[in-house]
Homo-oligomer: A and B are copies of this chain.
Amino acid sequence: MGRTSDARSKILNAARSLIELRGYSALGVAEICKTAGVPKGSFYHFFESKEALALTVLDEQWVVQRRDWERALGGDQVPLLRLRQLFEETAAAQRAGQATCGSVSGCMFGNLTLELSNQTAPIRERLQEIFDAQVGMVEAVISVALERGDVTVTDTRDAARSVVAQLEGQVLFAKLYNSTAQLDALWLNCLALLGARAPQPDVVAV
| Most B-side CB within 10 Å, residue of A103, A172, A177 | A172
Question: Is A118's CB under 8 angstroms from B21's CB?
Answer: yes
Question: Is B131's CB under 8 angstroms from A176's CB?
Answer: yes
Question: Is B175's CB under 8 angstroms from A164's CB?
Answer: no
In-complex Cβ contact of A128 among B117, B169, B176 (8 A):
B176
Given A169-B166, A193-B192, also A175-B114 (CB < 8 A):
yes
Q: Contact mask A23-63 → B, CB, 8 Å, 1/0?
A: 10110000000000000000000000000000000000000
Count the copies. 2
Question: Is B170's CB under 8 angstroms from A182's CB?
Answer: no
Question: Is A165's CB under 8 angstroms from B173's CB?
Answer: yes
In-complex Cβ contact of A115 among B103, B114, B161, B195 (8 A):
B114
In-complex Cβ contact of A164 among B26, B119, B161, B169 (8 A):
B169
In-complex Cβ contact of A172 among B23, B105, B124, B165 (8 A):
B165
A185 close to B (CB within 8 Å): yes
Give chain A's interface secondary structure class.
Answer: helix
Measured CA separation A167–B25 after assembly (Å):
25
In-complex Cβ contact of A176 among B104, B113, B175 (8 A):
B113
Question: Is B21's CB under 8 angstroms from A176's CB?
Answer: no
Measured CA separation A33–B117 after assembly (Å):
25
Q: How far is the CB of A34 from chain B (nearest CB, A)?
A: 18
Question: Is A161's CB under 8 angstroms from B176's CB?
Answer: no
Measured CA separation A167–B173 after assembly (Å):
12
Contacts of A162 in B (CB 8 A): 166, 170, 185, 189
A158 close to B (CB within 8 Å): yes
A106 close to B (CB within 8 Å): yes
Chain A positions 151-202 with a Cβ under 8 Å from a chain B Cβ: 158, 161-162, 164-170, 172-173, 175-178, 182, 185, 189, 192-193, 195
